[in-house]
Structure 1
Amino acid sequence: MNQSALIRPDWTPATIALMVLGFVVFWPLGLAMLAYIVFGDRLKTFKKDANDTVDGMFASCRGRFRGGRGRHPFRNATGNGAFDDWRDAELARLDEERRKLDEMREEFDAYVRELRRAKDQEEFDRFMRERRAEGKGDVPGFPAN
């Protein structure tokens, strides 16, 4: 840890002053600063342990909604082969529809970006024409119309 930092989880004059100020202003702030001073050096390991625990709990959920056999959360839920086959076909169809919708959304976003760029260019051109009309002169690098 960087020991040259002004505010670090240690008993430095700055952290003590912040703790006292926190108790004077609003007691939970002082308590939070005290907790930081005492337990702050363990926060990184606590966060890492908490993240590892949550990752372990949800590891089985990763990749389930990407389609494919055995990857959907409801696969083999009924035991009826005909129903399971129909469901898999429907889920594959829905996945394909979602892919098409995502592609359409990307195309629309690109279209809107191009419209905004064209509108910005038109506004800039109008500004430059008005500027020239007012007699403020040409701008180097901008073609005269």
Structure 2
Amino acid sequence: MTSFTPTAPHAPVLGWFSRSEAWMDSKGKGAWIAAMVLGFVFFWPVGLALLFYMIWSKRMFSKSSCRHRKSWTRHGYSAMRPSGNSAFDAYKADTLNRLEQEQHDFDAFLQRLREAKDKAEFDAFMNERAKDAARSDDPEEDAGDGSPKPL
């Protein structure tokens, strides 16, 4: 049986829990998940305790589990590089230009739509304000209930 020995020469002696935690961390997230599943199989409170500990210590959702995403970010702009096929590169350039133009046109449309909506709201506000001003200037209006006086 191998035991965990600290790498630092003057490191304090670790307890069994710290040693087992360090050993599990060295094996990766799969070891934690396997221990949790085995805990559920043999005695469910142990599995539940391991699950809560993994969530609390942020081992369940750590960045180390996203290694495959890092490779995608490295190749994020691979679509912009030439492929070597001139016909495909010309088609890709035309398509990207068309999409950029459509995006520009759509943004301009949204801007006009926002301006029209703002103008309609402002016109409605001004009309309501003019109606309120006309009602307050009307001499036939009764000050008590707001309804006009009968003739």
Structure of larger gyration radius: 2
TM-score (norm 1): 0.43
TM-score (norm 2): 0.41
